[in-house]
Amino acid sequence: MPSASTVFVDTNVLLYAQDDRAPSKQQSAQAWLTHCWNHRSGRLSTQVLNEFYVNLRKAAPGMSVDAARDLVRRYRAWQPWAVDEQTVDRAWGLQDRFSFSYWDALMVAAAQQLGCIVLLTEDLQHGLVVDRLEIVNPFYSSPAILDTSE
C-alpha cells in the first residue's frame, strides 16, 4: 500500500537532475528526487525508465553507457509499474477525457494504478487534478508542499 505522499516522477525530472546545462532546473529536480529517496516515496513506470535510459546520455553527454545503466538499475528500487492491458485501457479513457497525448495518459494511468497522489512533470498543466492525482510542475513548487500531507 503506497504512502499518502507517493510521488510518480516523469522522465523529464530524472533527466534534468543529470543535466548541468540547466542549473536551476537541475537543482529543483535534484531536490525533488532527494525528497523521494529520503521518504521512500518515489515511483515510476517501465515506460519512464525506458525513456530515461534512451535520453540520458543526451542530457549528460559525458556519462558512460555503464553509468547510465547503473542509474536505471538504481531507480528500479522505486517499484516501476509494468504497463499492462489495464494501464492501456485506463490511458485511453484519460486520453478521451482530458485530451492528453497517449504517452502522457499512459503515465497518468500508471501513477493512478500505483496509488500516487502527485505526478511530478513539466509536461502537463500544473495544479490539474485527475481524479485524486495532482499534477505538480517541479519547477513551480518545492517538495515542501508535501510536508502538510505527511
Residue 102: all three cell numbers together: 497517449
Tally of structural domains, the chain = 1
pLDDT digits (tens, 9 = 90+) for 70-120: 999 999 999 899 999 999 999 999 999 999 999 999 999 999 999 999 999
Question: What's the predicted TM-score (pTM) here?
Answer: 0.92
Instruction: Look up the CATH number of the domain holding residue 97.
Output: 3.40.50.1010
Is position 1 within any domain?
no
What is the number of other CB atoms lying within 10 angstroms of the CB of residue 141? 16
Is 40 among the domain residues?
A: yes
- Does 15 fall in a domain? yes
2 located within any domain: no
CA distance 67 to 56: 10
Domain assignment of residue 85, yes or no: yes
91 Cβ neighbours under 8 A, 6+ residues apart: 102, 105, 106, 108, 109
Domain that holds residue 105: 7-149
Rounded CA separation 96/131 (Å) = 14
Band (pLDDT 50/70/90 cuts) for residue 5 is confident
